[in-house]
């Protein structure tokens, strides 16, 4: 029963991605930029999974882990956005976001550890 549910979920995920990526087939001249814009949906689903873990997570540690992973994913968003639009300053936003996310993760870990900041 469990295995049946697993395979049904797998088939649904593969179908969704196939339809999103390949449905109106791009012409041969501009397949790179069109494919990049559609591959964006995969990162969107990843961010949705992280949000699900933030809402559902039974302990505070789960939520902290999901926030950390979301911070690295946003860097991937910025990196892909820079290619089809041709604007170079997206990667600057990515660098600033990565620094900010690292420091906030350290603060969250310190908060989980003992709830006092001076040690």
Cα separation of 47 and 96, whole Å? 19
- Looking at the chain, which runs of residues are DSSP E strands? none
| 15 part of the interface to another protein, by CB under 8 A | no
Q: How far is the CB of 34 from another protein (least distance, A)?
A: 12
Cα separation of 71 and 106, whole Å? 13
CB atoms within 10 A of CB 66: 19
| Residues near another protein (CB under 8 A) | 2-3, 6-7, 32, 35-36, 39, 42-43, 45-46, 49-50, 52-53, 59-62, 64-66, 68-69, 72-73, 75-76, 79-80, 82-83, 88, 91-92, 94-95, 98-99, 102, 105-106, 108-114
């Amino acid at each position: 029963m469990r295995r049946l549910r697993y395979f049904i979920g797998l088939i649904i995920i593969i179908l969704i991605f196939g339809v999103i990526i390949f449905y109106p087939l791009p012409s041969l001249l501009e397949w790179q930029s069109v494919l990049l814009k559609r591959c964006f949906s995969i990162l969107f689903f990843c961010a949705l999974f992280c949000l699900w873990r933030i809402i559902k997570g039974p302990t505070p540690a789960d939520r902290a882990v999901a926030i950390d992973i979301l911070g690295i994913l946003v860097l991937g968003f910025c990196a892909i956005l820079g290619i089809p639009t041709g604007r170079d300053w997206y990667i600057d936003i990515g660098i600033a976001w990565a620094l900010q996310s690292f420091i906030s993760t350290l603060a969250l870990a310190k908060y989980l550890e003992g709830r006092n900041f001076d040690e």
